[in-house]
Amino acid sequence: MNDQLCIASPNLAAYSETFIKDQIAQLQPGTLIYEGNYPIHSKEEDWQLPFPFNIHVVRGITKKLAPGLFHRIYSRSLADYLKRRKVTTLLANYGPVGVSVADACVMANVKLVVHFHGFDAYEYNTLAKFREAYRHMFTCAHRIVAVSTEMKEELIKLGAAENKIAFIPYGINLERFTTTDPSVNGPLLINIGRFTPKKAPDLLIRAFKIVHDALPDARLKMIGGGELLEDSKALATSLGLSDVITFAGVQSSEEIIRALHQSRIYVQHSLRPPSGDSEGTPVSILEACACGLPVVSTRHAGIRDAVLEQVSGLLVDEGDVEGMAKDIITLLKDPALCKQMGAAARARISENYHFPVQAAKLAALLEV
């Protein structure tokens, strides 16, 4: 247990944020606060805002009508709590959370490390709301974590000092995500993640239509939920693919590993949608690589760090449906190449994304 470490996160239960759960499990913080961009609950249940701001309705009204007043009350209360808990370092997950806790960290003489993950560095509405606040937060922060080299460049553009930014990608537990031999698996493609615009499930389905027309034995399994799930099912039906695409819903980590071990290729068409949202580094791609699967995806965000083109996978430009289909067909027709690229994918993860190594880098950065 790192008694002097506090981790702040918007929530603790999102199934798609396994990286935060792994982070908490590895770092073992003595203090954990959560719930929204202004975390107001402690896991230890030994802190709440002073009355009447501990009442949800009052908090909401105050944040809306007098945000400056709420921020000052919040910062003073959190600073007192951090002092009482003898916290020396606070790790804030996501930029907006870093903004909320920055002044409290200054008051409590606590080192602030802000971990960016994706949308918080890219999405236009988020940047419009927090751009100025980010600049203040960057000056308060001891260090800033980026999960891809592209994200590091974005944070510099937003005003972060380059010497404060550490590139620490997510790590994968190689003891859990063991290897398969894709060359002996059937022609099954697998995709894992939320059905959101930045993952463009519609473009993946359209690419698969081309694949299935060329190779009728091909199948696609899509694991996850999200706001575009029903639209994706309707698209599959309209394209005559409802019998060859399985929408498996949200699944446990164990079920995901079994599915990866049954597949030949991992596929994902990530892109930057009109909202400006972006991946950081998709954990699902790292997990697939760890299992020894070749990847067909896009030249997007941290995917370009994780997947070596023509070595551990094939990448196309964002929006290139025909190019993606062509690459998938190439691999489906060549099981030996799948095996070769899958072995290179596993090696890439072992060398650059092994969880204990990345966790140790983060712990060293936090000085805990």
Q: Which domain holds residue 46?
A: 2-171+354-366
- State the total domains in the chain: 2
Cα–Cα distance for residue pair 154/144, rounded to 1 Å: 12
Kindly report the length of the chain. Answer: 368
Q: What is the pLDDT of residue 22?
A: 87
In a domain, 177, yes or no: no
pLDDT tens digits, 200-255: 999 999 999 999 999 999 999 999 999 999 999 999 999 999 999 999 999 999 99
Q: Residue type at 200?
A: A
Same domain, 105 and 253: no
* Summary mean pLDDT of the chain: 96
In a domain, 176, yes or no: no
Selection from 177, 152, 155, 137 nearest residue 22 by Cα? 177
CATH of the domain at 43: 3.40.50.2000
In a domain, 109, yes or no: yes
In a domain, 248, yes or no: yes
In a domain, 14, yes or no: yes
Same domain, 316 and 190: yes
Same domain, 167 and 213: no
In a domain, 117, yes or no: yes
Q: Which residues fall within 8 angstroms of residue 140, CB to CB, at 6 or more apart?
A: 102, 103, 105, 106, 112
In a domain, 241, yes or no: yes
Same domain, 343 and 200: yes
Tokens of 222: 């899509």
Which DSSP symbol is given to 189?
E
- Tell me the average pLDDT across 46-53: 95
pLDDT tens digits, 122-180: 999 999 999 999 999 999 999 999 999 999 999 999 999 999 999 999 999 999 999 99
Cα–Cα distance for residue pair 290/354, rounded to 1 Å: 9
Share of the chain above pLDDT 70, in %: 99
Same domain, 326 and 245: yes
In a domain, 25, yes or no: yes
Same domain, 163 and 58: yes
pLDDT tens digits, 92-133: 999 999 999 999 999 999 999 999 999 999 999 999 999 999
Question: In the predicted model, is pLDDT for residue 14 greater than 70?
Answer: no
pTM to 2 decimal places: 0.92
